[in-house]
Amino acid sequence: MARILVTPRSLTKGGDPSLDLLKKAGHQLVFCTPGKSPDEQELRGLVPGCAGWLAGVEKITDVVLAAADCLKVISRNGTGVDSIDLAACERRGISVLRAEGANARGVAELTIALMLSLLRSVSYGDARLKAGGWERRQGTELEGRTLGVIGTGRIGKLVTKFALGMDMRVLGHDAFPDACYAPSPEFRYVTLEELLASSDIVTLHCPHTPGQRPLIDGPALARMKKGAVLINTARGGLVEDAALLAVLQDGRLAGYGVDAYEKEPPDPSPLLSHDRVIATPHVGAFTAESVSRATRVAVDNLLNALSSAK
């Protein structure tokens, strides 16, 4: 029997049937504060004695790992691992596993939802009407518009599929483009510079390494079309917030949809309160279906890894 730390907010608050597989295998589950992303201090108190860790998006630092006296494997219930100190894991012989593609559909659908909501000013109109007003912003239809997809992994490809189905053109950019990927004559790979200059909507589906400069900084925003929309359901560090606020305030950018933040929950800010910003609390993968798929893959990864480590 092994102790397994469980920290994803969706699991500590609501649980999941897949967790029963760990119990049936004889493992003991250790939970952090329900529904809350644990901080470094809480993790340092929980991780000693745990051989496995079913992890969410919380930061897993070298300081935390130093307290992990028998940890063999960290299994993410998602794809991103930029919140984990991978070098520290490697030094300590801790495997890091991912639930590849399990939450792709949920994130892709939220991306489309944010895109449509921004182009039709849904949240703006809703807020004004509920306040007793009657203010309308003229919307934009998607047919014939160009979507720029930065990162064409599973999420980016699903977003591309949805956009093509709505009669859009799609430009893709990826550090490692898939030469076999050609879903339509209306799709092509381009340089980042061309994508930014030619797209009516730009959506981010790529990783970000902590400490790296934001991909969408002041110069990148200056290359974008006047009146374009930016969507970020990937990582908060990909976008330079101060530069983005400036282009929203002067009207060069028409809107921003965001579901990922460097700090969660984020502090109140002029950017998040701007009326051309739609901000959601990291809910891209927070659907019943995505949580179930990701949890099952993460649990299977844990069981296999712990069995192999015996």
Compute the mean pLDDT over every residue in the chain, rounded to the nearest whole number: 96
86 and 199 assigned to the same domain: no
Residue 264 is among the residues annotated as catalytic for this protein: yes
- Integer-rounded Cα Rg, in Å, for the chain is 21
Catalytic residue among 27, 282, 293, 296: 282
274 and 126 assigned to the same domain: yes
Measure CA 235 to chain center.
5
Q: Supply the pTM of this predicted model.
A: 0.89
- Starting from the edge strand earliest in sequence, which strands make up the sheet with 228-232, in order? 187-189, 169-173, 146-150, 201-204, 228-232, 253-258, 277-279
28 and 128 assigned to the same domain: no
* Burial class of residue 61 (count of CB atoms within 10 Å of its CB; 0-12, 13-18, 19+): middle
In 3D, which of 208, 205, 211, 207 has the Cα closest to residue 230? Answer: 205
Domain count, the chain: 2
- 3-class state of residue 255 by DSSP: strand
In 3D, which of 290, 291, 280 has the Cα closest to residue 114? Answer: 280
Residue 282 is among the residues annotated as catalytic for this protein: yes
29 and 119 assigned to the same domain: no
303 and 237 assigned to the same domain: no
Catalytic residue among 100, 186, 194, 264: 264
171 φ, ψ to 5°?
A: -110, 130
Catalytic residue among 9, 208, 235, 293: 235
CA distance 108 to 102: 12
What is the predicted pLDDT for the residue at 211? 83
How many Cβ atoms are within 10 Å of 254's Cβ, its own excluded? Answer: 21
Query: How confident is the model over 213-264, as pLDDT tens digits?
Result: 999 999 999 999 999 999 999 999 999 999 999 999 999 999 999 999 998 8
46 and 162 assigned to the same domain: no
* CATH code assigned at 209: 3.40.50.720
Query: How confident is the model over 105-145, as pLDDT tens digits?
Result: 999 999 999 999 999 999 999 999 999 999 999 999 999 99
How far, in Å, are 45, 103, 127, 283 from residue 157 at the CA level?
40, 13, 33, 19
194 and 273 assigned to the same domain: yes
98 and 177 assigned to the same domain: no
Which residues span the domain enclosing 29?
3-102+288-308
What is the predicted pLDDT for the residue at 310? 65
